[in-house]
Amino acid sequence: AQTIHQWPVAEIKAVGSPLSLGCTIKGKSSPNLYWYWQATGGTLQQLFYSITVGQVESVVQLNLSASRPKDDQFILSTEKLLLSHSGFYLCAWSLTRGFSGNTLYFGEGSRLIVV
């Protein structure tokens, strides 16, 4: 069975400080990977997606970057946090390559508060 693990579960960070959020998928080789952001009480915004190691596509610009250093790992980061980065960050994976209508499976999320 596939499992998805996100870390950290929650963080409180200062404005201007760096951030790194991680996501690991086990039990599935070469998944499609995604980062989503959910503002408090808000809808979901896709940030990045990746179909293979070393290849990441940006969907929206929020002064964030993403990398896929390994097949099963997806990292979201920034060097300088803004207050607007606060929210719930969700990593997700999907099975099928090259098809947009596939089901997303989400991790448990990382909650970020920027102060």
List residues binding other proteins (CB under 8 A).
32, 34, 42-44, 46, 49, 51, 57, 59, 90, 94, 98-109
Q: How far is the CB of 99 from other proteins (least distance, A)?
A: 6
C-beta of 2 vs 16, nearer to other proteins = 2
Q: How far is the CB of 79 from other proteins (least distance, A)?
A: 26
C-beta of 29 vs 98, nearer to other proteins = 98
Contacts of 24 (CB under 8 A, 6+ apart): 4, 5, 72, 73
C-beta of 51 vs 53, nearer to other proteins = 51
Q: How far is the CB of 14 from other proteins (least distance, A)?
A: 24
Q: What is the DSSP annotation of 46-100?
A: EEEEEEETTEEEESS-SS-EEEEEETTEEEEEESS--GGG-EEEEEEEES-TT-S
CB–CB of 89/62 below 8 Å?
Answer: no
Encoded tokens for 27: 């039990």
Q: How far is the CB of 23 from other proteins (least distance, A)?
A: 12
